[in-house]
């Protein structure tokens, strides 16, 4: 086995072992509400139309962290992200 393949195998094994040792409580609960969080979307990674109506579709943000571009995040998360501004809250699908 090549040393790079062996290293990759050991890395994967370590990640799996670490994941198993953390336990079931490491996975956050399914959000009950989502926030429309503006100012944090990366270029080409916005969730829907711009707040200023400059476009109406996902994936059309032209620059990182534009105040008019947004993504959905679990409620209570947006204010914890530098530059994030909550623009709306909606219930999660059940």
Tens of pLDDT along the chain (94 residues) come to 455 566 556 665 556 555 555 555 577 678 899 999 999 999 999 999 999 999 999 999 999 999 999 999 999 999 999 999 999 888 887 6
Whether the CB-CB separation of 69 and 76 falls below 8 Å is answered with: no
- In this prediction, residue 94 carries a pLDDT of 60
Whether the full predicted model's pTM is greater than 0.85, yes or no, is no
Q: What SS3 class is residue 12?
A: helix
Tokens standing for residue 91: 């219930």
The predicted structure's pLDDT at residue 60: 96
């Amino acid at each position: 086995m090549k040393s790079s393949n062996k290293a990759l195998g050991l890395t994967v094994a370590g990640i799996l072992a670490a994941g198993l040792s953390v336990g079931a409580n490491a996975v956050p609960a399914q959000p009950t509400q989502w926030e429309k969080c503006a100012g944090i979307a990366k270029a080409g990674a916005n969730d829907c139309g711009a707040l200023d109506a400059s476009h109406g579709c996902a994936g059309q943000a032209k620059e990182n962290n534009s105040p008019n571009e947004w993504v959905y995040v679990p409620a209570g998360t947006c204010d914890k992200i530098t530059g994030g501004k909550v623009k709306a809250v909606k219930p999660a699908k059940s």
